[in-house]
Amino acid sequence: MQIGFVGLGRMGGNMVHRIKRDSDHDVVAFDRSADAVKEAESHGAVGADSLEDLVSKLEAPRNVWIMVPAGPPTQETVDTLAGLLDQGDMIIDGGNSRWSDDKARSAALEPKGIHYVDAGVSGGVWGLQVGYCMMVGGPDEAVARLAPILDVLAPPTTDEHGPGWGHFGPTGAGHYVKMVHNGVEYGMMQAYAEGFALFDACEFELDNAKIAHLWMQGSVVRSWLCELAALAFEQEGNDLEALEPYVEDSGEGRWTVEDAIDKRIPMPVITTSLFERFSSRGQNAFAAKVNAALRNQFGGHAVERKGKPAGAAEMQPAHAE
């Protein structure tokens, strides 16, 4: 089978590498970075220097997998490809697009006879070694045609439920499942983070890596995230001293919470974990100032002021009612 790959970053580049290493499928690869294209060529892919060049090197019916950032970059890539591809060709979005965007793109491509498949991909930088869990949405015919590529990218499994990828319904279903997957991931990460934060503050000199490794031995909280926590403590040290307490969010946690609100589904854990990420970036700093000011006003409680030594709190008399 032949497939084009657009976007050769940490995920896309490794996916091309895995396909070429573990199968005889042909890959034509393009990225704005010439170095990334050369890296793909070193693994056996055919390089392209533009989307037009990539499409010209594919045989009909063409299959083009996109691994670029969600939002405008993905939309621009889809729009350009729509003008280059023909009826029966297929676009696969393996990025973190919102499922509603997938549905809109599919509807726009339908009159041209171009298939659109959304594939939510989980596995990160480890996917090259262990494979990628893929949550797929799209027309049955298109997904069946893509299956040989999905089989190579997925983890090898003898599970009775099938391979390490699943087709969950029409276009949008794949990224919807991946969106909720990431929301659950937020909550799990936050729970681990809070547990290790308590260890860090307790009276005992605990070895966090040792705890995480132990929890992997039959504990009910064992998981890949727990395994990665052990690895992180080993690499960064028990107190993670070199890391700033700053946590970004990719957007899918927000979409999960937004959809939960629309459907009136309570999601306190996932919602709180998202807000904790906002808090880590100082986005509640003004609220903390307001809290401090109010305590000072009603109770004369001490406040900390900028430019004064740490601990040089200032008391103000409370206003009389």
DSSP lists the bridge partners of residue 116 as 91
DSSP code of residue 93: E
Catalytic position from the list 39, 103, 185, 252: 185
Helix H, strand E, coil C: the string for 218-279 is CCCCCCHHHHHHHHHHHHHCCCCCCCCCCCCCCCHHHHHHHHHHHHCCCCHHHHHHHHHHHH
178 as an active site residue: the answer is yes
Q: What angle do CA 100, 104, 107 make, to 5 degrees?
A: 140
Amino acid symbol at 186 = Y
Strand 115-122 versus strand 90-93 pairing type? parallel
Model confidence, pTM: 0.90
Residue with structure tokens 């939960």? 260
Per residue of the chain (321 residues), give pLDDT as tens.
Answer: 999 999 999 999 999 999 999 999 999 999 999 999 999 999 999 999 999 999 999 999 999 999 999 999 999 999 999 999 999 999 999 999 999 999 999 999 999 999 999 999 998 888 999 999 999 999 999 999 999 999 999 998 766 766 889 999 999 999 999 999 999 999 999 999 999 999 999 999 999 999 999 999 999 999 999 999 999 999 999 999 999 999 999 889 999 999 999 999 999 999 999 999 999 999 999 999 999 999 999 999 999 998 876 555 565 555 544
DSSP code of residue 191: H
103 as an active site residue: the answer is no
Strand 26-30 versus strand 46-47 pairing type? parallel
Among 207, 203, 211, residue whose Cα is nearest residue 239 = 207
- List CB contacts of 221: < 8 A, sequence separation 6 or more: 215
Q: Which helix (H) or strand (E) holds 135?
A: strand 133-137
Catalytic position from the list 178, 194, 258, 321: 178
